[in-house]
């Protein structure tokens, strides 16, 4: 198994010599010598739908971001990322691993693919992901989705630690703290983020402060905006980051609020869609079907799997990745063994495809990406914002064709309508063109941003809430507002009450900042001897307007358990009902902070913190 790193500054040898069974020896000057207690290794892990990536940085040499490029089964060929694929096997030697992953598969072997998408069932699956097939495989392996994800991450962890140990040496590794930062999609529910965190903990990536989550487009933005800085950025500018991956395309928008150090705020709620690069492969499949006919196609898939796999691999690795509108060359996709057929365009085992035909495969998918970006541009402009740039990242983001089409669309504003005497109105009506940025490290921008986040903390001062967040409460019955059948008698308050009213603490789209928590106020009564451990459900709502009472369709985010035993008894108020029943009342708040990829809660009474609140996600 080979392990090599590549470094951005390029002073670490990356060549892999397959005949040597020791690791490449890094130049001595590039190896950190001592490891003072505060220095750390930060490892970013981008667990993607189709591909995953790992980057690392040593805090004492923050300029050098290393990308793991050698993978088990990779046959010495380096790759910025490794397929997110896993299967369980019965090894002939029982001491060997029962897991196969990444590059270790032959094309025709069965394995779990796109397993990440099953962590959040609130989203639609792309047509090519079969829940039935995934469920059948999991049943056969006797695994749950969470276990398969955690087993995959455990392989990533093991390989990363081995690679780092080769790179830095065992002594260094035993003295140095390793902190992981894991990326998750921005659109994920809080419970899916929590499930990812748990899977990573189980995989050995640490816990508590040593394991952080960051949203994928935010990580990409951190890296690319820093790379653009400082010449091209101005205060107040808005940038849209478009992370075009395998399955999904995720968008996020930021406004620059400070230049040095760079600080940004999220300027529109992120959006996304199912129009990633894998859709091109399925459109290619349809193309082949229509060219050679369904019968020959089915025969090939069923009887000559190797022939089909070869053609698909060529499309995936060569045709798709090199396609560019300016080069009108034909491509010859190998389908070894398919007999010549002039009409179908089959010649000597190759299917000839014209540039126009490849373009037809790309165009509908590219148009979807453009219209998603267009939507985000409109949202920002509608609020009076100035959109200065679109940053294209992710695997599909690397595509020169996508880049060219985006440039054409956003960059070539039509000339103002002709008038004999130009007026101010005409000058003002021209839409300013938007620059498209295409960073060199588009595919690894997410994972590079993740390590920067671990290294430097967050540059994002505020985000937009993706949901309304609230809690339900009971209040005094008001016949003008509440249905009479909902009321009940409270012996402590000695009034008619109603429960399940919703109080929304944060509105969808509202600005939230990590440093300014949102407070949920509560007042609670306790009879003598009653438990001081209280439970509340945090509720979210995806609709644009949130309802005023609890109803179907609201999302039960998590149960918050607060232990009020930590609050001094003197802060409770002793009250007595008219019937002489004594009870204690406490006013308290739960402070919630929305971090890049998770929710954090704290119990406060009179502005003093009395411990954490545990959140159990549903
Ligand atoms: N130059 C290129 N042109 C088009 N597609 C490309 C190119 N390079 C890589 N890809 C595709 O990008 C996809 C992988 O991208 P990426 O790693 O960003 O996705 P992911 O993180 O797995 O997916 P997601 O972000 O949806 O979870 C693959 O489908 C791959 O075929
Ligand atoms: Mg991705």
Residue 249 has pLDDT above 70, yes or no: yes
Which atom of ligand 1 lies closest to the CA of 394? 18
Q: How confident is the model at residue 404 (pLDDT cuts 50, 70, 90)?
A: very high
Which atom of ligand 1 lies closest to the CA of 317? 31
Q: Would strands 598-605 and 582-595 be described as parallel, antiparallel, or unpaired?
A: antiparallel
Q: How confident is the model at residue 33 (pLDDT cuts 50, 70, 90)?
A: low
User: What would the 3-class secondary structure string for 211-274 be?
Assistant: EEEEEHHHHHHHHHHHHHCCCCCCCCEEEEEEEECCCCEEEEEEEEEECCCCEEEEEEEEEEEC
pLDDT 10s digits, 429-488: 556 789 999 998 999 999 999 999 999 988 899 989 889 999 998 889 999 999 999 899
State the pLDDT at residue 430.
Answer: 57
How far from each other are the two terminal CA atoms of the chain, in whole angstroms?
40
Q: How confident is the model at residue 261 (pLDDT cuts 50, 70, 90)?
A: confident
Residue 490 has pLDDT above 70, yes or no: yes
State the pLDDT at residue 124.
Answer: 86
Phi, psi values for residue 279, rounded to 5°? -65, -25
How many Cβ atoms are within 10 Å of 28's Cβ, its own excluded? 7
For residue 220, the ligand closest to its alpha carbon is 2
Q: Which mutation among 281, 392, 395, 406 tests ligand 1's pocket best, with the greatest number of atoms within 8 A of CB? A: 395
Measured CA to CA, the distance from residue 579 to residue 596 in angstroms comes to 51
Residue 340 has pLDDT above 80, yes or no: yes
260 contact partners, CB below 8 Å, separation of at least 6: 230
Q: Name the CA radius of gyration of the chain, rounded.
A: 28
CA-to-CA separations, 344 to 235, 289, 323, 353, 537, in angstroms, rounded: 57, 10, 22, 10, 61
For residue 441 and ligand 1, the question of a CB distance below 6 A is answered with no
Residue 82 has pLDDT above 90, yes or no: yes
CA of 49 to the centre of ligand 2 (A): 7
Average pLDDT over residues 21-31: 41
Mean predicted lDDT score pLDDT of the chain: 88
Average pLDDT over residues 584-610: 88
Average pLDDT over residues 122-150: 94
For residue 399 and ligand 1, the question of a CB distance below 6 A is answered with yes
For residue 396 and ligand 1, the question of a CB distance below 6 A is answered with yes
Question: Could you give the 3-state DSSP secondary structure of residue 15?
Answer: coil
Q: Which residues are close to ligand 2, an ion, with C-beta < 5 A?
A: 48, 245
Q: Which mutation among 217, 246, 319, 392 tests ligand 1's pocket best, with the greatest number of atoms within 8 A of CB? A: 246
Q: How confident is the model at residue 505 (pLDDT cuts 50, 70, 90)?
A: very high
For Cα atoms 496, 501, 505, give the angle at the middle one, nearest 5 degrees.
Answer: 135
Contact 70, 12 (CB under 8 A): no
Smallest CA-to-CA distance from 398 within 437, 363, 434 is with 437
State the pLDDT at residue 432.
Answer: 72
CA of 48 to the centre of ligand 2 (A): 5
Smallest CA-to-CA distance from 382 within 256, 238, 546 is with 238
Query: Whose C-alpha lies nearest to ligand 1, atom 28?
Result: 246
Phi, psi values for residue 422, rounded to 5°? -60, 140
State the pLDDT at residue 29.
Answer: 42
Q: Which mutation among 86, 396, 404 tests ligand 1's pocket best, with the greatest number of atoms within 8 A of CB? A: 396
Query: Whose C-alpha lies nearest to ligand 1, atom 5?
Result: 396
Measured CA to CA, the distance from residue 463 to residue 509 in angstroms comes to 9
CA of 2 to the centre of ligand 1 (A): 24
Residue where the block lists tokens 């500054």 = 9
CA of 523 to the centre of ligand 2 (A): 44
How many percent of the chain have pLDDT more than 90? 67
| Position with higher pLDDT, 614 vs 140 | 140
CB burial readout 129-155, b (16+ within 10 A) else e: beeeebeebbeebebebbebbbbbbbb
State the pLDDT at residue 528.
Answer: 87
For residue 247 and ligand 1, the question of a CB distance below 6 A is answered with yes
Smallest CA-to-CA distance from 41 within 30, 56, 53 is with 56
CA of 365 to the centre of ligand 1 (A): 13
Query: Whose C-alpha lies nearest to ligand 1, atom 15?
Result: 395
For residue 277 and ligand 1, the question of a CB distance below 6 A is answered with yes
Contact 434, 406 (CB under 8 A): no
| H/E run at residue 197 | helix 190-202
pLDDT 10s digits, 539-563: 999 999 999 999 888 999 999 999 9
CA of 277 to the centre of ligand 1 (A): 6
pLDDT 10s digits, 286-299: 999 999 999 999 99
pLDDT 10s digits, 190-244: 889 999 999 999 999 998 778 999 989 999 999 998 888 667 789 999 999 999 9
For residue 278 and ligand 1, the question of a CB distance below 6 A is answered with yes
State the pLDDT at residue 15.
Answer: 28
496 DSSP β-pair partners: 489
Which atom of ligand 1 lies closest to the CA of 51? 22
For residue 248 and ligand 1, the question of a CB distance below 6 A is answered with yes
Q: How confident is the model at residue 23 (pLDDT cuts 50, 70, 90)?
A: very low
As a residue count, the chain comes to 618
Average pLDDT over residues 375-404: 95
CA of 340 to the centre of ligand 2 (A): 40
Residue 416 has pLDDT above 80, yes or no: no
Measured CA to CA, the distance from residue 118 to residue 343 in angstroms comes to 43
Residue 25 has pLDDT above 60, yes or no: no
| H/E run at residue 43 | strand 40-46
Smallest CA-to-CA distance from 451 within 185, 65, 32 is with 65
22 contact partners, CB below 8 Å, separation of at least 6: none
For residue 505 and ligand 1, the question of a CB distance below 6 A is answered with no
For residue 320 and ligand 1, the question of a CB distance below 6 A is answered with yes
Cα dihedral 45→47→52→53 (10° resolution): -10
Question: Could you give the 3-state DSSP secondary structure of residue 393?
Answer: strand
Smallest CA-to-CA distance from 599 within 505, 526, 525 is with 505
Contact 338, 296 (CB under 8 A): yes
State the pLDDT at residue 1.
Answer: 36
pLDDT 10s digits, 520-529: 888 899 988 8
Q: How confident is the model at residue 415 (pLDDT cuts 50, 70, 90)?
A: low
418 contact partners, CB below 8 Å, separation of at least 6: none
How many percent of the chain have pLDDT more than 70? 90
Contact 214, 368 (CB under 8 A): no
């Amino acid at each position: 198994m080979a392990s090599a790193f590549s470094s951005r500054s390029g002073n670490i040898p990356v060549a892999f010599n397959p005949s040597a069974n020791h690791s490449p020896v890094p130049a001595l000057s590039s190896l950190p010598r001592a490891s003072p207690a505060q220095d750390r290794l930060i490892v970013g892990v981008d667990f993607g739908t189709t591909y995953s990536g790992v980057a690392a940085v040593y805090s004492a040499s923050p300029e050098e971001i290393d990308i793991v490029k050698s993978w088990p089964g990779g046959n010495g060929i380096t790759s910025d990322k490794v397929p997110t694929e896993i299967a369980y096997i019965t090894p002939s030697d029982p001491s060997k691993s029962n897991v196969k992953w990444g590059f270790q598969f032959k094309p025709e072997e069965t394995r779990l693919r796109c397993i990440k998408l099953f962590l959040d069932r609130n989203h639609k699956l792309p047509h090519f992901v079969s829940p039935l097939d995934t469920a059948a495989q999991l049943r056969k392996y006797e695994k749950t989705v969470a276990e398969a994800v955690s087993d995959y991450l455990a392989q990533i962890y093991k390989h990363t630690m081995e690679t780092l140990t080769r790179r830095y040496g065992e002594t260094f590794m035993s003295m140095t703290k390793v902190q992981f930062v894991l990326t998750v999609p921005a659109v994920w529910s809080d419970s899916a983020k929590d499930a990812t965190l748990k899977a990573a903990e189980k995989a050995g990536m640490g816990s508590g402060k040593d394991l952080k989550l960051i949203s994928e487009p935010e990580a990409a933005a951190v890296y690319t905006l820093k790379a653009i800085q400082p010449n091209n950025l101005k205060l107040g500018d808005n940038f849209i980051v478009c992370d075009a991956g395998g399955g999904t395309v995720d968008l996020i928008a930021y406004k620059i609020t400070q230049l040095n150090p760079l600080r940004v705020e999220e300027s529109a709620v992120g959006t996304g869609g199912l129009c990633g690069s894998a859709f091109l492969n399925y459109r290619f499949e349809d193309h082949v079907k229509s060219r050679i006919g369904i019968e020959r196609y089915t025969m090939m898939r069923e009887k000559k799997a190797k022939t089909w796999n070869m053609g698909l691999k060529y499309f995936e690795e060569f045709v798709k990745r090199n396609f560019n509108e300016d080069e009108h060359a034909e491509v010859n996709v190998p389908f070894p063994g398919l007999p010549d057929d002039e009409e179908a365009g089959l010649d000597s085992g190759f299917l000839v495809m014209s540039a126009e035909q490849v373009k037809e495969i790309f165009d509908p998918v590219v148009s979807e990406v453009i219209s998603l970006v267009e939507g985000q541009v409109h949202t920002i402009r509608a609020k009076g914002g100035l959109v200065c740039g679109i940053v294209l990242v992710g695997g599909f983001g690397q595509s020169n064709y996508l880049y060219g089409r985006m440039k054409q669309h956003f960059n070539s504003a039509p000339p103002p309508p002709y008038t004999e005497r130009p007026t101010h109105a005409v000058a003002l009506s021209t839409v300013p063109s938007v620059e498209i940025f295409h960073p060199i490290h588009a595919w690894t921008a997410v994972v590079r941003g993740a390590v920067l986040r671990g290294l430097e903390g967050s540059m994002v001062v505020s985000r937009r809430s993706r949901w309304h967040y609230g809690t339900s409460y009971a209040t005094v019955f008001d016949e003008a507002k509440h249905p009479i059948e909902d009321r009940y008698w409270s012996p402590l308050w000695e009034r008619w009450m109603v429960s399940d009213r919703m109080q929304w603490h944060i509105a969808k789209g509202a600005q939230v900042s990590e440093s300014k928590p949102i407070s949920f106020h509560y007042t609670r009564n306790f009879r003598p001897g009653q438990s001081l451990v209280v439970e509340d459900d945090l509720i979210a709502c995806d609709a644009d307007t949130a309802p005023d009472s609890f109803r179907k369709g609201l999302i039960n985010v998590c149960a918050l358990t607060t232990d009020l035993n930590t609050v001094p008894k003197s802060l409770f108020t002793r009250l007595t009902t008219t019937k002489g029943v004594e009870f204690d009342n406490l006013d308290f708040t739960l402070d919630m902070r929305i971090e890049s990829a998770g929710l954090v809660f704290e119990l406060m009474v009179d502005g003093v913190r009395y411990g954490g609140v545990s959140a159990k996600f549903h």
